[in-house]
Structure 1
Amino acid sequence: MNILVRLTVVSASFLVAGCSFAANSHLRNTCNPWVNTFYKNSLRERIATFDSYDLGSQYEIFICGNQVIHPPAIYLAESFAKEGAAAVPLLKKKLAQADDDLTVRDIVLVFAGMQRQRSYDVSKDADLVRLIVEKLNGMHDPEWKAIAQGNLDKILGVSK
């Protein structure tokens, strides 16, 4: 095997090995335990057991599932949204701390699920709506921002 082919194979191996955490390397320590446990289970088992975890673990599982696992585990947003008012303080805090588009997008998705399921009336929480708007205005990626804005519109009952 010539040197160019060997280098290509080695480079591709490193690229593939690093893909699962490439987008959000800051999640590596948080997500490793969930990737090696929760996400090893079948989809059916993941859905069935998600709500048995405490809210902090649910948040980590959800964020890892949407920002590290592929395909993304967006289906967990509905389960997380069922927690309603109990999850709002944690999600509000995480949203306030969020400094990246993906986390804002994912948290707003859960809030939209709460509104849709009527587990919490996000639209009536003026402080939360203001925080969501502030975070959306700070987003950089136009596609992620459009998705998050669409979810905010659903929360507010805005039809397009």
Structure 2
Amino acid sequence: MSSKRIIPPAGEAPLSGFERHRRALRAWLGRRLGNAADVDDAVQDVWLRAHERLDSGAVDNPRAYLFTAANSVVHDRARRAGVRHERAHRSLEENDHPVEWITPERVLEGKEALNVIMNRLSTMPERTRDVFVLHRFEGMAYAEIARRMGISVSSVEKHIMKALRLLLEIEE
């Protein structure tokens, strides 16, 4: 009476075939993949492929089955990496996409800064303010502002510089 079902000892999980060979499987995958994160992912992929078969008891040699599945995972990953040109990808680091949290303190600072800018805009000479608003808020080019206001492009540049100086003035 030969049964293919592997009966685990009392208290041992049904996937004991997998657990028994996990360390050897990790070492084997580590030699082929190198990166520890890739090894962890590959072990998970092997488990996903093998768990039903090992659990059913239909596998005579769990170790051979696991390493065959692992070999398949390594080849699939290599093929996928080639198709996706993974070596040409650059990973994004924290500096590439910094996270800025919206906190009550930051909201208050932003409101205060906006009030300062609005007050400074309201105290600017009218023509300087108009030139600045047309350029920065309406998106008009210097030449277009000059034609519209009947002044030279050089005057527009001077008004923009004056407005920036007034806006960036440091309070003492």
TM-score (norm 2): 0.22
TM-score (norm 1): 0.24
Q: Which one has a larger percent helix, Structure 1 or Structure 2?
A: 1
Which fold has the larger relative contact order, with Cα–Cα distance below 8 Å and residues 6 or more apart in sequence?
1
Larger radius of gyration: 2
